[in-house]
Amino acid sequence: DTAVSQTPKYLVTQMGNDKSIKCEQNLGHDTMYWYKQDSKKFLKIMFSYNNKELIINETVPNRFSPKSPDKAHLNLHINSLELGDSAVYFCASRRGRAGEINNEQFFGPGTRLTVL
Amino acid sequence: KQEVTQIPAALSVPEGENLVLNCSFTDSAIYNLQWFRQDPGKGLTSLLLIQSSQREQTSGRLNASLDKSSGRSTLYIAASQPGDSATYLCAVLTGANNLFFGTGTRLTVIP
């Protein structure tokens, strides 16, 4: 069984479009994250959600909005896509609430977004 | 601001050799350090997690050490195999639940 899954795996779209990436975890984890891996392979955290509450909102454009319909899902919606949004986006999850920090993060397979 | 650096950026070794990957971080106020493996075009696989109070963790042929005061961690891989070829990433967890990733070391094990 896949622990953290993302759809789609690849996403190619035009500038200006709105798109969503879905993430689901079947681990019963409390906290979920979105990361962006740029062309230089550097991973940077974008958001985290704990029990439907946004904990971290790094300095990402407000065109990016995380949406969590329930504890097992954290979707990433992107408005007005730009060329610079091209990257690989990873979803992750971990057990425990914000204060329970010493738990591993488990990552999804990634979504490669290409904006033309 | 926390910065995580990994040296070397790339490493090629013949099969069977033991090797060490290095990770350094600028702010020693971390909660834990995690080593990941990333295969080309794939996601991240967690290898080892060392809590700030621990000095090392072992899993099979992997051994990770942590010297928090000096801001360093090493990942030791014994008897390397071609299947170990991947990019290895270290990441430190700081306050506010932030996981800072290093730049990665791309390992190639030559059969």
DSSP per-residue string spanning A61-83: -TTEEEEEEETTEEEEEE-S--G
Distances (CA, A) of B25 to B1, B38, B91, B92: 10, 20, 9, 8
Q: What is the pLDDT of residue B80?
A: 97
Residue B101 token pair:
């990733």
Mean per-residue pLDDT of chain B: 92
Task: Report pLDDT for B97.
Answer: 66
Lowest mean pLDDT among A67-71, B46-50, B83-87, B92-96: B92-96
**B98 to A107: CB separation less than 8 angstroms, yes or no:** no
d(CA B105, CA B85): 10
- Residue A47, pLDDT score: 87
Residue A24 DSSP one-character state: E
State what percent of residues in chain B have pLDDT above 70. 98
> What is the pLDDT at residue A98?
56
A109 touches chain B (CB under 8 A): yes
Angle at alpha carbon of residue A108, lines to A30 and A72, rounded to 5°: 30
Q: Please, how many CA atoms are within 13 Å of residue A50, restricted to the half-sphere of its CB?
A: 13
CB atoms A104 and B46 under 8 Å:
yes
What integer pLDDT is reported at residue A101 of this predicted model? 62
pLDDT at A59: 78
- Determine the distance in angstroms separating the CA of B89 from the nearest CA of chain A, rounded to an integer: 9
The pair of structure tokens assigned to A31 is 């906290």
Q: Cβ–Cβ of A56/B34 closer than 8 Å?
A: no
User: Higher pLDDT residue, A50 or B88?
Assistant: B88
Q: Which two tokens stand for residue B26?
A: 């600028």
Average pLDDT of span B68-84: 96
Q: Does A27 touch chain B if contact means CB atoms closer than 8 Å?
A: no
pLDDT of A80-98, one tens digit each?
999 999 999 999 998 876 5
A22-60 pLDDT tens trace: 999 999 988 899 999 987 777 888 988 887 778 777 678
Determine, for residues B34 and A105 on separate chains, whether the beta-carbon distance falls below 8 Å.
yes
Candidates B5, B23, B37, B44: best to mutate against A (most CBs of A within 10 A) is B44
Query: Residue range B41-46: average pLDDT?
Result: 85
Residue range B11-19: average pLDDT?
96
Cβ neighbours of A103 in B, within 8 Å: 49
Cα B56 to Cα B33: distance, rounded to the nearest angstrom: 10
- What is the CA angle B63-B68-B72, rounded to 5? 60
